[in-house]
């Protein structure tokens, strides 16, 4: 097992090579991989040809399957979702705004794993922002201001029956399942302490965070906008470039991410699993 630590200012994206993810792993090996993932937020495993069973087997080393409520899974594999875009598609890329997967859930997924199957020759990068580092760099006055705040999360903007995906005009290859249930809300701390590292992170994102509890709409908008602008600065962002048969595993508790476009006219296909 070989590690290449990230060289970017965001300190995200450790590459782990010289291993076969279809093999059995010892508890010590799992612990080593987990530590690298926790230290660097995004673990990159290149050159991994994985069947569905292999993908599931490796994912389960890091926890139980999560719940993906608004995306249709594969018929024969209820825990695998296809993230796909056809060559002729005109709709914007799925997941194209900063977010932490399913932050509107009571227990959001700790990990998301994404395995590449078909990668276009141009574009299609995934961007990750380090919300732990962004929090650490805040002025003490801001830290004191936000330390006890709670924020309201919801899937309503993208996934409600009157949300973005339900009302968009262009056809989409992704199997998305809008629902009235997406209007439900969930409170989370704005500053969340990571359950494993005990480090503090900004647990907000413009897709699922509606507002700050007990703040006026204007005050909530102004503070959240300031924090979003702060945490998406280039120094906190890692731009990942894909190749086929590559597995990524990222920590939703310490990073936000978004998909980039730039590959119109080409097909793109990846398989996704979330871990509770």
Domain at 2-275, CATH from 3.60.130.10, 3.40.50.300, 3.90.1150.10, 3.30.1330.10: 3.60.130.10
Per-residue pLDDT of the chain (276 residues; tens, 9 = 90+): 999 999 999 999 999 999 999 999 999 999 999 999 999 999 999 999 999 999 999 999 999 999 999 999 999 999 999 999 999 999 999 999 999 999 999 999 999 999 999 999 999 999 999 999 999 999 999 999 999 999 999 999 999 999 999 999 999 999 999 999 999 999 999 999 999 999 999 999 999 999 999 999 999 999 999 999 999 999 999 999 999 999 999 999 999 999 999 999 999 999 999 999
Say what the pTM is.
0.97
Three-state secondary structure of the chain: CEEECCCCCCCCCEEEECCCCCCCCCHHHHHHHHHHHHHHCEEEECCCCCCHHHHHHHHHHHCCECCCCCECEECCEEEEEEEEECCCCCCCCCCCCCECCCCCCCCCCCEEEEEEEECCCCCCCEEEEEHHHHHHCCCHHHHHHHCCCEEEEECHHHHCCCCHHHHCCCCCCCCECCCHHHHCEEEEECEEECCCCCCEEECCCCCCEEEECCCCHHHHHHHHHHHHHHHCCHHHEEEECCCCCCEEEEECCCEEEEECCCCCCCCEEEEEEEEC
């Amino acid at each position: 097992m070989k590690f290449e630590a990230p060289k970017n200012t965001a300190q995200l994206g450790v590459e782990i090579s010289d291993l076969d993810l279809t093999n059995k792993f010892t508890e010590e090996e799992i612990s080593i991989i987990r530590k690298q993932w926790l230290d660097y937020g995004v673990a990159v495993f290149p050159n991994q040809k994985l069947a569905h069973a292999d993908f599931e087997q490796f994912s389960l080393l890091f926890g139980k399957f999560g719940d993906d409520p608004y995306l249709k899974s594969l018929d024969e594999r209820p825990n695998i979702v296809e993230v796909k875009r056809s060559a002729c598609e005109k709709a914007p890329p799925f997941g194209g705004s900063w977010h932490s997967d399913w932050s509107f859930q009571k227990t959001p997924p700790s990990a998301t794993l994404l395995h590449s199957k078909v990668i276009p020759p141009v574009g299609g990068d995934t961007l990750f922002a380090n919300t732990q580092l962004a929090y650490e760099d805040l002025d003490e006055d801001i830290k004191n201001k936000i330390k006890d705040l709670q924020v309201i999360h919801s899937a309503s903007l993208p996934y409600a029956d009157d949300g973005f995906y339900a009302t968009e005009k262009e056809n989409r290859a992704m199997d998305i399942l809008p629902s009235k249930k997406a209007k439900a809300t969930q409170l989370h701390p704005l500053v969340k302490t990571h359950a494993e590292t005990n480090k503090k992170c900004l647990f907000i994102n413009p897709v699922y965070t509606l507002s700050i509890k007990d703040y006026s709409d204007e005050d909530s908008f102004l503070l959240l906008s300031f924090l979003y602008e702060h945490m998406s600065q280039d120094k906190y962002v890692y731009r990942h470039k894909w190749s086929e048969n590559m597995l990524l595993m990222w920590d939703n508790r310490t990073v936000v991410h978004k998909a980039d476009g730039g590959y119109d006219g080409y097909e793109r296909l990846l398989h996704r699993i979330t871990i509770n």
